[in-house]
Amino acid sequence: MDLSSMQGLMVIIGPIVLAAALIWAIARNRTSKRQLDETEAATRRNYDAQDAEDRNR
């Protein structure tokens, strides 16, 4: 196998591997609606607690 055929394989297979890695990463990083709602509720509770603490000063 000479260098030009190896380079041809890299040009064809490289983007396929990159696309597969990107699809896998995007699929693994998705959050569910429940997780997002829990995060938002916790953030609101933290803001409310901080606001109450600031008002008591």
Here the tokens at position 5 are 């055929």
Here the tokens at position 55 are 């008002």
Q: Is 56 helix (H, G, I), strand (E, B) or coil?
A: coil
pLDDT for 5 equals 84
Sign of CA pseudo-dihedral 11, 13, 19, 24: negative
For the chain, what is the domain count? Answer: 1
pLDDT for 47 equals 97
pLDDT for 57 equals 84
Query: How many residues would you count in the chain?
Result: 57
Question: Distance between CA 37 and CA 45 in Å, rounded?
Answer: 12
**Is this structure's pTM higher than 0.85?**
no
Over the stretch 1-57, which tens digit does the pLDDT of each residue have? 677 888 988 999 999 999 999 999 999 888 888 999 999 999 999 999 999 999 998
